[in-house]
Amino acid sequence: MTYESLLYATRARLHEQLACYLETSSSDAPPLDALAYHYGQRTNTAKQREYFQKAAAVAQAAFANDAALAYYARLLPLLDAPAAQADAHLQWGAVLELVGRWAEAETHYRDALVLAAQDAASTACAAGARHPVPAARRLSGGARVVGAGAAVWAALGD
């Protein structure tokens, strides 16, 4: 029997079973890429959110920029809270900035500002808002981004 001949529901169940096994058998250093992959084949959005976010952060720290960007792309649609969405946009923008994709980074920083304005009490935005300011100054229209951000950060008490 080959993998492709299995029904989708059977494959999805096997992916989740393997992910659960990996989670419990390697609690000190879980294989984040494998967990993200296997939970990504299932509809368990809580686990997808958890492992896409962890795998993105680890990939970003290791300068595995393409992997980090792919994880952020999969993570963002799963996030409901504006604060979590803003944080993901900030992190995604940071990776894009690092690889020189300035216009795309600016878009993500602007999206984070919009989300921060929607959720002014967001601690993720208050903590992360300090990061994009130097980058925003280098981006086209950076003064407008910084100006818009200053109003949001003032509302956050930062």
Count of alpha carbons within 13 angstroms of residue 82, beta-carbon side: 15
109 CA to centre of own chain: 13
**Domain residue ranges of the chain, discontinuous segments joined by +:** 1-78, 82-158
Confidence band, pLDDT 50/70/90 cuts, at residue 44: confident
| Amino acid 39: pLDDT | 74
* pLDDT tens column, 50-97: 989 999 999 999 999 999 999 999 999 999 999 899 999 999 999 999
Average pLDDT, the chain: 78
Q: Of 11, 15, 117, give the one whose Cα is nearest residue 3.
A: 11
Q: What is the DSSP string of 95-139?
A: HHHHTT-HHHHHHHHHHHHHHHHHTTT-HHHHHHTTTHHHHHHHS
| Amino acid 7: pLDDT | 62
* pLDDT tens column, 133-151: 454 445 555 555 556 666 6
| Amino acid 109: pLDDT | 95
Q: What is the mean pLDDT of residues 118-126?
A: 57
Strand, helix or coil at 80? coil
Strand, helix or coil at 45? helix
Vertex 129: Cα angle to 55 and 71 (nearest 5): 20
Vertex 49: Cα angle to 46 and 50 (nearest 5): 85
CA distance 152 to 26: 42
Confidence band, pLDDT 50/70/90 cuts, at residue 122: very low
**Are the beta carbons of 124 and 84 closer than 8 angstroms?**
yes
